[in-house]
Every structure is written in C-alpha cells, then in structure tokens.
Amino acid sequence: MSALLRILLLVLIVFLAVTGAYPNAFDISTDYSAEMNGMAGAGMAHCDGGMAIAVNPAGMAGIKKYNFSMTLTNMVVSLEAPANGPGTGVSSTSYAPIGGAGTAYRVHDNITIGIFLFAPSGGGSIIKNVDFGYPMQGYRNVYRRNFSGRLAFIEFGPAVAINLPHGITIGAVYRINFVENWANLWALSPGFISGRMEAHYTKVHLSGYGFDGVRVGAQFNPVKQLHVGVAYRNPVRIYTSGKTRIDSAYSVKTEKIERYAERYSAGITYEFVPGIFLASLDYEFCGYSRYRYNTVKTMGLVTISTPLKRRDTHWARLGFEVMADPRVPVRFGVGAMSGSSNKKYHNITSVGAPGYPFFLGLGSGYRFDEAWELNLSVNFLYNTGRVPMKYFFYGAMPGYYSSLGYFTSIELICNL
C-alpha cells in the first residue's frame, strides 16, 4: 500500500469517529432564556422580548416599546461510555458556556424589529485513557490515549414581528450560522511503513458558515387567559472546511457538511389566576432523520459517508409559574424526549447516551420595577442506555452509556 493511500485511509478512519462527535450537539433544546429554563423549556406560547427570537419570533410583538434580554448559561455534562466494548468504560466531563442575547424595538404600532445572537451549543471535553485495541480479540487494551474536542457554534440574525387583528401576532428571523470545532485524538490504521496496525496522533480543525436558516412563528390570544403558539425552524446545512494533521508530519485538506435539524413546535399556556399562576405545555418534533450520513471529503478528491441514521424525536415539556410575591416568581417544570440516537451506530463519539433523556427545571427571579428584571434557573439532565453486542457489526460500540448533567442560567431583562 502506498504512503498516500495509507494517509487517506488514516484520515477516513479518524473521521469515522470525529464526524460523529457533534452531529446533534447543535440542538440543545432546553437552552433558552433563564425564565423558560426554569420551566424546563416550556413557554413558547407566551414568551416575549429579545430572547423570544430564538424560540418563537412572534413573541417580540409582546413588548411595549423596547426590550433587551440576555441569558448566560453554564452547562456541565458527565459522560460515561465504553471505549472498546463492555468493561472498557471511560468517563469525561465537559463544560460549555452558552447562552444568548436579543433586543427588540417597536417602530410602529403594529411592527417590531429585532436582532439576536444565540450560542445554542459549545464548549469542550477530554476523554482520558481511551482504550484503542482490537474488539474482535477480546477487547484487549493495546493503546491508552486521550481524546479531546471543542466546539463553538453561534447563530445570529435580524427579526421582525407584526401585530395582526384578533390577538394574532406573527414573526420571522433570518438565521446566519457559524460553527468551528477542534478534535485531537489517537486512531488506529495500517502503519505507514510496517503495514501493521499503529496509533497515530491526529488534530482536526474545521470551520464554516450556513446562510439558509429561517425560523417563523405565531402567537394567538383568543381570550386573556389563554395563549397559543406555533413555530417552525427549517433545516440548515453548514459547509465546513479545514485541515487534518497526522503525527505533525502530514496536513490534509478536509471538508464536512454539518446539519441543523428542522423543528416543528406548538405550545399552550393557560393563566389559571391571571398574573399569579400559569401552566405551559409545549410539544416539539425534531427531524433528526435527516442525519442519515456523515459525509467527509479529503484532499478535495476522496469522499466517504458513514451511517448515522438518527431517529426523529418528540419533546414534551410541562412548566408552571407561581408569583410567591408581586416581585418574586417561582418556576418549575419537567421534560422528556423520545431519543434521537440509533443504537446500531452509537459509540463513544456520539452525543450522550442512546436512551430517553429526562430533565427537570427550577427557577426564580426578582422584578425590581417595570423596567428591570433578573431571572435565575437550574436544570438537571438524566439519560442512560445500553447498546447490545448484536449491533457491533453496524459500527456501534456495545456497552453501557450514561449522560448526566446540570446547567445554571442567569438572565437580565430591560423593558422600556
């Protein structure tokens, strides 16, 4: 085998792992405003202001004259996964500073414009002592090396909302996406000289933009106590490119397409005691089945597609808000997801565990006056699952997986 073919083979083997690292990390569905996070992400039927742009842009129309909202979130997630099959579990903890900011301004009695900057995913992690061995030979530990990865994902763009008769508002936002990720890992491939299986240190750096994103939404208040909302986010393709360096001796041009799933959302909020107690129920459909393959091109010549075949998922969220004091809201909520991972292709580089995520939200805040408000929230995430041995031949890594984490949010709101 020529040296060139060995290089190409190594790059492709590396990307069998790396391309699976972030395929749906862009879709953390509970990272909204601290107000909504306190209700486990529920509230798209009555959300308003600048942060509503990321959920339901029609909510911008609910402001009086001007609104600025900013949420900062610190997410910590611990992942346990088998590196080389049952009994070879490794763990990692990732930290991700995420959040967003938005502003809205009423330029006409019936027209509101705004702009937002949203970081729905990001951060990094190191998986220590990963075992690179030969699973078909009893999962022997041949190499123990670290895997590390970092991700930056930003979404920004302008928005507009319009007040219509009969309590109806509509809104739209144009979404520009930017993604950049880094991965450092050891991978097995035939040796450049010996032809035997050897471990090679590989660094990957990719970045790119997407310019075809749109989110539209509507809110409807048929009566004062009842709020109904719907929203749609189209799928986005982000073309990334960069370099893959192998053993600090070779540098290979690499291209990859990242995908951002389509979403259909609907919600209802009912104020049992107006201004005192409300409940929100949200449903969301996520089109992850579009993630059928990861496609990577190296040197502008060789293209390979690895299967993902993710499943469409269904989210459900139920949240409550009670005014313990005219200035102090108390929020809580629960949420669950049907799970997007396909066990047949799940491994250590996949996102989370192949189970059914469940999460809780708690929050509160303080309303200083009509202009300023501060909100706080904390969320807990629980997701476990097991990949059976029979899926090894599909490309999955059998064993037990768990993804446990929490994130805290702080939000500052200014209304004028």
194 φ, ψ (degrees, to nearest 5): -75, -30
Query: CB of 348 within 8 A of CB of 397?
Result: yes
- The reported pLDDT for the residue numbered 23 is 44
CA distance 267 to 221: 12
Q: What is the pLDDT of residue 140?
A: 47
Q: What is the pLDDT of residue 58?
A: 96
Q: Which pLDDT score, from 0 to 100, does residue 259 have?
A: 77
**DSSP letter string over 352-391?**
S-SS--EEEEEEEEEE-SSSEEEEEEEEEEEEEEEE-GGG
The parts of the chain modelled with pLDDT lower than 70 are 1-31, 83-85, 87-90, 121-146, 187-199, 292-294, 299-302, 304-308, 348-352
Q: For the domain 3-415, what is the CATH code? A: 2.40.160.60
Handedness of CA 336, 306, 181, 353 (dihedral sign): positive
Query: Phi/psi of residue 392, each to 5°?
Result: -60, -40
User: Percent helix, strand, coil in the chain (nearest 5)?
Assistant: 10, 65, 25
Instruction: State pLDDT tens for residues 91-131.
Output: 777 777 788 899 999 999 999 999 999 887 666 666 666 65
